[in-house]
């Protein structure tokens, strides 16, 4: 029984030591940094898509539809 308790205590100590080492490690990226990068990419992508949509909706599409209508106008 004493041998089993020593094994369990040793495993718990090793797990605690690994956790302390991981938390004290100054290198690498944190989860917050990665989350902020992903959020920035999504927001910038949404702004670019909204700008392109406005550009195509107000500038390109009306002239494009008019050109297509003129191209298929067989009355002339």
CA–CA separation, 23 and 48 (whole Å): 38
Q: What is the pLDDT of residues 30-40, one digit of tens each?
A: 778 888 999 99
Residue 33 forms part of a structural domain: yes
- Total number of domains in the chain: 1
Domain hosting 24: range is 2-71
pLDDT band at 14 (very low <50, low <70, confident <90, very high): very high
Where b means 16+ CB within 10 Å and e means fewer, 27-51 reads: eeeeeeeeeeeeeeeeeeeeeeeee
* Residue 30 located in a structural domain: yes
**Residue 36 is assigned to a structural domain of this protein:** yes
Name the pTM for this structure.
Answer: 0.46
In a domain, 76, yes or no: no
Asked if the structure places residue 22 within a domain, the reply is: yes
């Amino acid at each position: 029984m004493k041998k089993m308790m020593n094994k369990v205590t040793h495993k718990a100590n090793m797990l605690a030591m690994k956790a302390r080492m991981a938390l004290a490690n100054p290198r690498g990226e944190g989860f917050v940094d990665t989350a902020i990068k992903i959020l920035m990419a999504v927001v910038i992508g949404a702004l670019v898509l909204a700008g392109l949509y406005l550009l195509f909706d107000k500038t390109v599409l009306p002239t494009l539809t008019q050109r297509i209508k003129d191209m298929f106008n067989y009355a002339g």
